[in-house]
Structure 1
Amino acid sequence: MARESTCRFAILGMLCREPMSGYDLRSAIERSVGHFWQESYGNLYPTLKQMAQEHLVELEPEEPSRGGRVRKAYRVTEAGRTALAQWLRRPVLPHVERNELLLKLFFGAQVGPTDSLAQVERSRSEAEGLLAALRLIDENVRHSRGDDPERPYWHLSIRAGLLGLEAHLRWCDEAREALQRMERTPGSTKKRKAK
């Protein structure tokens, strides 16, 4: 059975918050769930068009924006809310994460520990930046005023991101130590000859 595209449900969830254009959707996804979910414009616009044909979303009355262009904002329909609720109740399908760093490390003997260490260091640096940004988001969510019923759910997803990044940084430190030991070990830096 083919896996159903979850792009449509990310869109429906965002539109339950407020009507948005495709550009607004992409920005909202990046700002709110970007640490664990990404959508490209190339995927958003065709999905929005298809969802409009299925009556899950509809265009709001058009209003000119600054510059005279017409802003196309979508809102979720009742059918869209029902589809989102049904999807939220279904079990999460298991999946295997595609992790390019781990794939490169798995085949690291082909280039040696120095090149593999450089990959780990880059990943560690990126993770540190993401962790700092996510900590700021966490602070804002925890200290925001009001009784928004979505806030505890946001906090749960942020915590998963924080803990995952902290674990990744610990793993990077272990990998760094192992690769540095390999660099100091005679014979471990020899590359295999291509056949």
Structure 2
Amino acid sequence: MARENTCRFAVLGMLCRKPMSGYGLRRAIEQTVGHFWQESYGNLYPTLERMEAEGLIALDREERSPGGRVRKVYRVTTEGRRVCAGWLRRPVVPHVERNELLLKLFFGARVGPKDSLAHVERSRAEAEGLLDALRRIDEDARREREGDPELPYWHLSIRAGLLGLEAHLRWCDEARATLQGLARAQAAKKKRGKQDAR
């Protein structure tokens, strides 16, 4: 069964919070759910057009950007709120992980520990940066949105991201130790081979 295009539900959810332009939606997604939900922004504007044609959203107003461009600001309709609520109540479609790092490590014996270790180190550095950013998002949300009824729900997703990144960093440390051990064993074996050849 083909997976449903969930871009429309990300848009509906954001527009249930307040009217926004396509540009505003893009920024809102990046600044809120971006740590766990990526949208193709090339898909965003066609999705807005389809949703407007379907009556899920409507033009709220037009406004000029600082650069002079006209931006359409959309609001969610009653039908859009109904569709969004229906989607929120449906069971979650099981997620199939596609992790290139793990795939490369699985086949890592073909190239040896040095290349695999480099992949792990890059992943660890990226995770550290994401963890710092997510901690700032969490602090800002708690400070700026204190008392907001949506805050406990936001915090659940932020907390999942924090715990996931912390676990990934621990795993990176274990992977690093294993790969460094393999590199040392490989170097020792190579050294013994050269000595035996003398």
TM-score by length of 2: 0.90
The separation in 1 between residues aligned to 2:103 and 2:52, in whole angstroms, is 39
Aligned residue in 2 for 1:64: 64
State the Cα deviation string for residues 77-96 of structure 1 (Å, max 9, x = none). 11110000000000101121
- Describe the SS at the equivalent of 1:173: helix
- Percentage of matched positions with identical amino acids: 74
Aligned residue in 2 for 1:157: 157
Amino acid at match of 1:64: R
1:54–1:179 Cα change, 3 Å: same
The separation in 1 between residues aligned to 2:40 and 2:33, in whole angstroms, is 13
Residues 56 and 76 in structure 1, CA contact (< 8 A), matched pair in contact too: yes
State the Cα deviation string for residues 2-38 of structure 1 (Å, max 9, x = none). 2111111000000111111111111110000111001
Structure 1 gaps of 5+ residues are 191-195
The separation in 2 between residues aligned to 1:142 and 1:163, in whole angstroms, is 17
1:67–1:187 Cα change, 3 Å: closer
Compare 105-114 and 167-176 and name the one that shifted more: 105-114
Residues 145 and 151 in structure 2, CA contact (< 8 A), matched pair in contact too: no
The separation in 2 between residues aligned to 1:50 and 1:189, in whole angstroms, is 63
Amino acid at match of 1:185: A
- Describe the SS at the equivalent of 1:72: strand
The separation in 2 between residues aligned to 1:77 and 1:136, in whole angstroms, is 33
Residues 127 and 165 in structure 1, CA contact (< 8 A), matched pair in contact too: yes
1:135–1:64 Cα change, 3 Å: closer
Larger radius of gyration: 2
Amino acid at match of 1:19: P
**Number of residue pairs the alignment of both structures matches:** 190
Structure 2 gaps of 5+ residues are 191-198
1:92–1:188 Cα change, 3 Å: farther
- Describe the SS at the equivalent of 2:93: coil
TM-score by length of 1: 0.92
Compare 10-19 and 39-48 and name the one that shifted more: 39-48
